[in-house]
Amino acid sequence: MKLTRHISSDYLSAANALRPRDARRRIVAYVESYDDIFFWRTVLSPYETDRVYFEIMLPTKHDSRRTLLGRGKRSAIDCLLRQTGRDMIACVDADYDYLMQGATEASRQLLDTPYVFHTFAYSIENLQCYAPGLHNVCVMATLNDRRLFDFEAFLAGYSSAVWPLFCWSVALYRSGRYDVMTITDMDRILSLGKITADNASHLLSRLSSRCRQKVSSLRHSHPDIALRIAETERSLLGLGISSRTAYMYLHGHHLFDNVVLPLVANVCSHLIREREAEIRRYAVHATQRDNELSCYANSIQDISAMMKKNAMYVLSPEYRRISQQLALAFKADNNADDTPETTSHELP
């Protein structure tokens, strides 16, 4: 039997205790996938000190013959349910579980299990789509700083169009009526098709119309749920979610892959063509033109990669909540251990 089957927070605590007094304490942070490692490194790095550091990894699971990498929220949380402690934490996407506010078993586990930290937003993809950071993505990818498109206004408009249907979705899920309108059903309704900077406003109008039609249909077919919509809306507002920020709580992969990334890519294409035209216009001769165009082409970055590396989400309310969650959890540890209280960016 492999010793690694019994690695737990207690095991890590004992290992930390055997180190020299001046050695840094190691905290293992389990995440859902490889893509999550960089994000949670960004989140956890400010809390590392000369006394503590984090090691971020995917959980492992075991059978009778071999050790396997585990992926997904379930694997990360299962490790904590069996082996919870301050030396072993899980960092996961909130999905809809945060919005459920304890209405389901998965939500209760997310909210109540010590040392499970979550994104508050649906997933890290939503945070990567944080509207105030999208112009930065365009600049990183194209090296052109002209503001060709107002991403903040667009995603506020997208959220406003979706908001009534989003409230219905949350109310249905809280009532256990997942079959009425699944996340996949929502994705189909919220799909915009081929979006560009030129047709974005028109597509939002069509989206708003589709959402109103679906809400009208749901109100007619499920009058019992209709009675709960006002209460659900108040609850969401109490969680800091509004009709301008709902995009942060929709299905993140769909938002990233089918709405924001195509739009950012289209804007970047305009900016690249604009920069290339500028080079052609101002080049003194053909050799300089070709050299400048070649240099610029080599400087352009992959747009999807730039979105995943852009860290402007640190300015978002959701990121601040993650930071507060971490600070409060480890402050409680400090008080329990009768150690001096630390600052908001320090762990014990």
Transcribe 59-95 into DSSP letters. -EEE-SS-EEE--SHHHHHHHHHHH-BTTEEEEE--T
- pLDDT value of position 73: 67
pLDDT per residue, tens digit, the chain (348 aa), is 333 344 554 544 545 544 555 568 889 999 998 989 999 999 999 888 888 899 999 886 544 444 444 455 666 666 656 565 678 899 999 999 999 999 999 999 899 888 899 999 999 999 999 999 999 999 999 999 999 999 999 999 999 999 999 999 999 999 999 999 999 999 999 999 999 999 999 999 999 999 999 999 999 999 999 999 999 999 999 999 999 999 999 999 999 999 999 999 999 999 999 999 999 999 999 999 999 999 999 999 999 999 999 999 999 999 999 999 998 877 645 454 444 343 334 444
- pLDDT value of position 2: 38
Q: Which residues lie below 8 Å from residue 56, measured CB to CB, with a gap of 6+?
A: 29, 31, 37, 40, 41, 44, 91
CA pair distance 125, 86, nearest whole angstrom: 27
- pLDDT value of position 20: 55
- pLDDT value of position 171: 98
Q: Which residues lie below 8 Å from residue 150, measured CB to CB, with a gap of 6+?
A: none
Helix axes 151-174, 183-190, angle to 10 degrees: 150
CA pair distance 275, 1, nearest whole angstrom: 62
Q: Which two tokens stand for residue 26?
A: 């190691």
CA pair distance 315, 337, nearest whole angstrom: 32
Determine contact, residues 62/5, Cβ cutoff 8 Å. yes
